[in-house]
Amino acid sequence: MQEKLEVPTLCRMCDHGCGILVSVENGKPVHIRGNPDHPFNKGWMCIKGKSALDLFYAANRLKTPLIRRGGRLLSASWDEALGHAAERLQRLKERWGPQALGIYYGEGVGHQEIRYYMKRFANVYGTPNFMSVGAICNAARTFGEVLTLGGLTKPDIANARLVVLWGANPLVSHEPVPPKVIRRLGKSGARLVVIDPRTTETAARADLHLKIRPGTDAVLIAGMLHVILREGLWDRGFTGEWVSGFERLQAEVSKPRYAPEAGVALTGIEPEAVRVLAREYARTKPACIFTGNGLEHHPSGVAKTRLLAVLKAVTGNLDVPGGELFTPRPPIKDITSPLPPPEAPAIGARRFPIFCRARGEAHALSLPRAILDEDPYPIKGLTVTGGNPSLQWPDSRRTREAFEKLEFLMVVDVVDAPDSRLADVVLPACTFLERDEHRSNVYLNLPYVTLRQAVVEPLYGLPDQMIWVKLAHAMGYQEYFPWKSCIEGIDELLSPMGKTYAEIAADGGIYAYDRRIYRRYEREGFGTPSGKVEIYPKRLEEAGFDPSPVPSLEAERMRAAEADQNDPFPLMLATGGNLLPYTHWQFRYIPRLRKTVPDPFLEIHPETAGLLGVRDGELVEVRTETDVIVVPAMITGAIRPGVVHLAQGWETSNANRLTSNEDADPVSGFPNLKSVRCRVVKRTSSS
């Protein structure tokens, strides 16, 4: 008789953890469907989630550990590979000191627990250079809101009367707002506005789409605030009691240079459209703004998110139904620092002190400089878990050059990946269907802890947490890593709640640790030093930064001004956009997903293509100050004239060969990925 069961767990084909039910027969997963009882996706699944079994059975899964011998990666046992890695790490520490090791995890890991294990390992080893994908994703948005509001908000789209999607494409990108929610907006009488240089899949469904010129968001926000403050449309009750610095803001933004008429030359958006949107946003109750990485991947990304937070605040949309909600974090035990922190400064701490101090980690994009230039000191070894920096970081050619210079590189991944091909040791991780972990859902506006339950034993590899436990044991760190299973680790992490893995699993894998309370600030204040919304945070000023979120128009003009064809880089390149079947680099190796978008392409407006003499499908060279690539052209009216777009994640025609980690936000260190000057020329047989 066949044994059949259905196990509730969480998807990990993107970062947001939709609830799924996995059917298992004779110890093998055979079917996946959305979990109708999960509070977020309520049974909905995207194309990636429906392909999760393809990942489980993928032909390129890493099946055994690998050790580089004689220039080739050869199969090895777990004991041999862990022992070899431990020996190399110990030798590196003795020769160069513990700070010479970097420990990095990327988006591919996609679970919150691994941070605790890896940072704990870094602390015991003695290196300050634990680092993460946070150096390039989401943290700038978080900094902007935490500095201004004291916490991160998320929009309550389902209950809003007006939804503004700013630099976000949730029908395609990671945040899986189900299409039915977007469709329901129109049926409920709510309006959808999209601000994006491209006519994205979500923008195509909008009531209003403003095709902003890349990099000029702050000018548009300032223009909206100008209208709201000049016309007296702000929430006087909330602002008078809960906003610090409002009078100074009013004096700044009310000046004629921030009027919509002054901004049109930069944003490309007609003044009347700005005025209509500003009035509609201020008068419609409730309203919310959904932002994506499109706003933060600029040299002034933190200032942009701060100014947008101010816009949300002065219109009275904070912590109200249909507005911008704060969700309290769950009480999780911090197990990261069993020993005093390392004495050496983390790389990047001098240039990006706020980032490194707030996140308690090094700045990952400072790594190539530390390896190649030994600034501020040499990094000689690196471990990479669930990431492909040589492909996904800006200036990928320099990143790869840095990785090739390392004395030791260890990679932990599920599949054969670009970075694993450079490694000295490769350790195979199992898929999310084969591991246990907990997940908090703060970023989904849900005060829940949910469980990702292993539905089967690992077909290949081990859970990431246990790989780090076993490596720690091979290093002699047994007393600091006592957990014998992922579940034991989960129980310790959840101990402040008084809950165990087994108890939550018995309740369907979902535990509500808090309840929704609106206007929580009326009881607790905001999480800023003053307890109020801080338009001009003293913390920024004390760190040597301009506390004003209002943009310097001269700086904006220099970046966004139209260039003529005599300029060496006359076009604006936007990169980093996601494609529906993929999560960054991942899943291009799954055949049925690859069929949907098989090859890279550069989006070019017909007017721009005409000036360049380029036809659809022809090869073009895209050149920036950093590098040059070749890619087929796609002629489309979905992009603004003068702007071209290249999605990220392709090994060939890699967009990150064209970007730089030196052109970065001064607070977060986030690179400019969305407004890069470039030149596009038709590829000829002689070029």
Q: What is the mean pLDDT of residues 327-353?
A: 93
pLDDT value, residue 110: 60
pLDDT value, residue 177: 65
pLDDT value, residue 281: 99
Residue type for position 268: G
CATH hierarchy code of domain 562-682:
2.40.40.20
pLDDT value, residue 181: 76
**pLDDT over 70 for what percent of the chain?**
96
Specify the fold of 66-127+331-444+448-512: Rossmann fold (3.40.50)
What tens digit of pLDDT does each residue of 240-298 get?
A: 999 999 999 999 999 999 999 999 999 999 999 999 999 999 999 999 999 988 888 98
CA-based torsion, 346, 348, 350, 354: positive or negative:
negative
Q: What is the mean pLDDT of residues 26-38?
A: 96
Give the pLDDT band of residue 206 (cuts 50, 70, 90).
very high
pLDDT value, residue 314: 99
C-alpha distance from residue 342 to each of 30, 105, 128, 383, 622 (Å): 47, 19, 6, 18, 43
C-alpha distance from residue 10 to each of 27, 146, 280, 440, 589 (Å): 18, 28, 38, 12, 22
Report for 109-123, 364-378, 539-553: range of highest mean pLDDT: 364-378
| H-run or E-run covering 309 | helix 301-314
Q: What is the mean pLDDT of residues 180-193?
A: 84
Residue 2: burial class (beta carbons within 10 Å; 0-12, 13-18, 19+): exposed
User: Rounded to the nearest 5°, which phi and psi values hold at 414?
Assistant: -85, -35
Q: What's the rounded Cα separation, in Å, for the pair 53 and 31?
A: 8
Report the half-sphere exposure of 490 (CA within 13 A, side-chain side).
25
Q: Are strands 448-452 and 510-512 parallel, antiparallel or unpaired?
A: antiparallel
pLDDT value, residue 556: 65
Helix and strand numbers (H, E) in the chain are: 23, 27
pLDDT value, residue 540: 93
Q: Does residue 443 surpass a pLDDT of 80?
A: no
Give the pLDDT band of residue 553 (cuts 50, 70, 90).
low
Tell me the pLDDT of the chain averaged across its residues.
Answer: 93
CB 593 within 8 A of CB 661: no
pLDDT value, residue 68: 98
Q: Are strands 628-635 and 676-682 parallel, antiparallel or unpaired?
A: unpaired
Q: What is the mean pLDDT of residues 51-71?
A: 97
Return the DSSP state at 403: H
Q: What's the rounded Cα separation, in Å, for the pair 302 and 141?
A: 6
User: In this structure, how many other beta carbons lie within 10 angstroms of the beta carbon of residue 72?
Assistant: 8
Q: What is the mean pLDDT of residues 381-387?
A: 96
Residue ranges per domain, the chain?
4-56, 66-127+331-444+448-512, 139-327+521-542, 562-682
Per-residue tokens: 581? 């079947």
Q: What's the rounded Cα separation, in Å, for the pair 524 and 514?
A: 15
pLDDT value, residue 640: 94
Q: What is the mean pLDDT of residues 550-574?
A: 74
Q: What's the rounded Cα separation, in Å, for the pair 198 and 5?
A: 45
Read out DSSP for 51-110?
GHHHHHT-TTB--S-EEEETTEEEE--HHHHHHHHHHHHHHHHHHH-GGGEEEEE-TTT-
Q: What's the rounded Cα separation, in Å, for the pair 381 and 409?
A: 6
Give the pLDDT band of residue 551 (cuts 50, 70, 90).
confident
Q: What is the mean pLDDT of residues 355-361?
A: 94
C-alpha distance from residue 677 to each of 16, 131, 560, 562, 640 (Å): 33, 29, 9, 11, 15
Q: Is the peptide bond before 286 cis (omega within 30 degrees of 0)?
A: yes
Give the pLDDT band of residue 687 (cuts 50, 70, 90).
low
pLDDT value, residue 445: 80
Q: Does residue 175 surpass a pLDDT of 90?
A: no
Per-residue tokens: 177? 């707002």
Q: Does residue 54 surpass a pLDDT of 90?
A: yes
Specify the fold of 139-327+521-542: Dimethylsulfoxide Reductase; domain 2 (3.40.228)
**pLDDT over 90 for what percent of the chain?**
83
- Helices 139-149 and 301-314: crossing angle in degrees, nearest 10, is 40
Q: What's the rounded Cα separation, in Å, for the pair 329 and 514?
A: 9
Query: In this predicted model, which residue has the larger pLDDT, 141 or 55?
Result: 55
pLDDT value, residue 15: 84
Lowest mean pLDDT among 6-15, 559-568, 632-641: 559-568
pLDDT value, residue 218: 94
Beta strands (DSSP E) in 222-319 are 243-244, 287-291
- CA dihedral in degrees (216, 217, 221, 224; nearest 10)? 70
Specify the fold of 4-56: N-terminal domain of TfIIb (2.20.25)
Read out DSSP for 367-380?
HHHHHHT-SSS---
pTM: 0.95
pLDDT value, residue 109: 61
Q: What is the mean pLDDT of residues 574-600?
A: 93
Lowest mean pLDDT among 187-196, 242-251, 361-370: 187-196
Q: What's the rounded Cα separation, in Å, for the pair 505 and 453?
A: 8
Report for 138-147, 242-251, 511-520: range of highest mean pLDDT: 242-251
Q: Does residue 347 surpass a pLDDT of 90?
A: yes
Give the pLDDT band of residue 172 (cuts 50, 70, 90).
confident
Residue 637: burial class (beta carbons within 10 Å; 0-12, 13-18, 19+): exposed
Q: What is the mean pLDDT of residues 615-629?
A: 98
Give the pLDDT band of residue 418 (cuts 50, 70, 90).
very high
pLDDT value, residue 185: 82
pLDDT value, residue 275: 99
Give the pLDDT band of residue 565 (cuts 50, 70, 90).
low
Q: Does residue 561 surpass a pLDDT of 70?
A: no
Read out DSSP for 310-365?
HHHHHTT-BTSTTSEEE-PPP-----S-SSPPPSSPPTTTTT-HHHHHHHTS--GG
Q: What is the mean pLDDT of residues 152-174?
A: 89
pLDDT value, residue 282: 98
Lowest mean pLDDT among 66-75, 141-150, 178-187, 355-364: 178-187
Report the half-sphere exposure of 632 (CA within 13 A, side-chain side).
9
Give the pLDDT band of residue 176 (cuts 50, 70, 90).
low
User: In this structure, how many other beta carbons lie within 10 angstroms of the beta carbon of residue 381?
Assistant: 24
Return the DSSP state at 188: T
Q: What is the mean pLDDT of residues 191-196?
A: 96
